[in-house]
Amino acid sequence: MPISSLPSSYGIGTLGEEGYRFADFLKRIGCRYWQVLPVGPTSYGDSPYQSFSAFAGNPYFIDLDNLVKEELLRPEEINGLEWLETEDRIDYAGIYQLRFPVLKKAFQRSKHENTKEFQDFCEKNRYWLKDYSLYMAVKNHFDNHEWLLWDEDIRFRSQDAIDRYSVQLEEDIKFWDFCQFKFREQWDNLKSYANKLGIQMIGDIPLYVSADSSDVWVHGDLFELDERKNPINVAGVPPDAFSSDGQRWGNPLYRWDVMEQKDFTLWRERMKISAELYDIIRIDHFIGVVNYYSIPAESPTAIVGEWRKGPGKKLTDAINTSIGEAKIIAEDLGIITPNVRKLIEKTGYPGMKILEFSLDGPVDHEYLPHNYKTTNLVAYTGTHDNETLVGYINGKKKEDLRFAFEYYNVKKKADLPYAIIRVLYSSIADVVIVQMQDLLTLDNKARMNFPSTIGGNWQWRMTKAQYQELNEKLLLEYAKVFARAPKA
C-alpha cells in the first residue's frame, strides 16, 4: 500500500491519521509487513522511481492536519482549497499548485531552527541535505527546469555560483530543509507506531537515480556523463514478451569503477538512510548489480544496447556493512543469469515470485507455489507494474482460465482472487505480499503503473469507505491457519 494511496482530504495520502488507521487494519488481519513504494520527491511523470533525490522524502506526504495541531497552519488555510477532483485518484498537477504555498506558510511560522531535534537532523543528514535543499531552491529559481538547462556557472557547480545562490536563495533553502525535517519527523512517528503493533515497514528503492536529481548534479563524476554533463549511456531493459521496444528508463548509468575507488560512499550513505526509514529494503532491478543493460543516450528506444558487468559482491558487501539490523529483498525479476543466482545465494537475500505470471500455467511454472524450492523468498500476487488480479482475470475468456480454475479449485471468475490469495498464504514462502487493490478485488482502473508509459500512472487511491468492503475475519483466519499471524 503506497503512502500516496492512503485516504486523505488533501488529494494524496499522507503520514497522518489514515496511516495509523491502516496500520491498525494490518494488525487486525494478522499482517506483519507493510510494503510501500519509494517515498522520495517525485519529478516529471510523477513516478516514485524518478526522484529529485535518492535520500529525501516527498513533501506531498507531510500531513497538514498535524501542522494544524502544531499551530503552524490554520484550518481555514487548508479546508477551503480544491484538493480533490475524485476521492480515488490523485491529481498531481493540482497538488503541485496547492501544496507548496501551504507548506511555506507553515515554514514561516515554525520555530524549528533553534531546536535540538532540527540541529540533530541536519547533522545526521549532512551528506545530502545541504546539497538537496540548494538544488531545489536553484531549480525553483530557474522555473523548475532540469539542472542541465540552468546557467552554466551553477550547472557546473563553480564555487562562486554556489556561494552566490546560497546567499541569494537562503530563505528558500531553509524551506526545503524544513520540508525534509517535517517529513522525517512524521515518518518516524508512523513507523514507530507500526513497529509497536508488530508491523515492519518494507521500503522500495530504485537501483538507479534520476538524471534530474541533486545526486547527479552533485556527484557527476560517479555517472556516465560527457564533458557537458549530458548522459552518455542510460539504463533500461531490452525487448521482451511485454515490450517489443524494451524499456528505456533514461537514468544515467553509474561509473562503477569510480564508485569503487570512492569505496561506494554514495551507496553506503544511501543505504544507511534507507535502513533508518525501513526495517526491510527491497532493491528494485537487483539483477543490474550483476549485469546491467546499457543504452546509448541518443537511442529513443531500448532496442539498441548491450549487457555489461556490474559491481556484484563488492557492492553487496558495502550494502551489508551499512544497513545495521535492516534486511534486504532482491527484486530478481527479469533475465536471471547463473551469476545473478550465485550472488543471491552468497548474500542470502530472498528473491521474489509473482503469482500472476503463473496463472496460465504450465504446471511446472517456477512461480506456481508447489514449485517453490526454498522458503527464503517473498511471494507476491503482483506488483505495482502488473495488472490487478481482477483486471487480469477479467481480460481472459473463461476457457483461457481453465488451468487457473483447476489449480485454485474454483468454478467462477469472481471466486478466483481470494482463492489465489489463500493459496499464496499457504505457500512455503517466508513472506507473502498482497496488493491492497487485490484485497479489495479492484479491476485495472486501480492499476498503479503501465511500464514504459508516461501520464495516468501512480494515481490510484483507496477511499475511507472501502474498509467496509473487506472481510477482516476471513483475512485473519488465513493468517492464523497458515501460521503467518504474529503469535499471541
Hey, which residues are catalytic here?
Answer: 284, 331, 385
What CA–CA distance (Å, rounded) separates 418 from 421?
Answer: 5
C-alpha 124: how far from chain center? 23
**Ramachandran region of residue 278, left (φ > 0), alpha (ψ -120 to 50) or beta?**
beta
Gap between the Cα atoms of 266 and 278, Å rounded:
18
Fill in the DSSP letter of residue 236.
E
What is the C-alpha separation between 429 and 427, in angstroms, rounded? 5
Question: Taking a C-beta distance cutoff of 8 angstroms, is the pair 137, 169 a contact?
Answer: yes
Give the integer Cα–Cα distance in Å for 49 and 16: 23
Q: What is the rounded distance in angstroms from the CA atom of residue 88 to the CA atom of residue 110?
A: 32
E strands present in 358-427: 377-380
Q: How far, CA to CA in Å, does 243 sit from each of 237, 247, 301, 468?
A: 10, 7, 11, 38
Residue 129's SS3 state is helix
Note the helical H segments in 47-115. 64-69, 75-79, 92-109
Rounded distance, CA 355 to CA 379, Å? 7
Separation CA 382–CA 389 (nearest Å): 8
Residue 231's SS3 state is strand
Q: What angle do CA 449, 450, 451 make, to 5 degrees?
A: 105
Q: Are 386 and 356 in contact (CB under 8 A)?
A: yes
Q: Three-state DSSP class for 219? A: coil
User: What secondary structure letter does DSSP report for 387?
Assistant: P
Whole-angstrom distance, CA of residue 202 vs CA of residue 38: 10
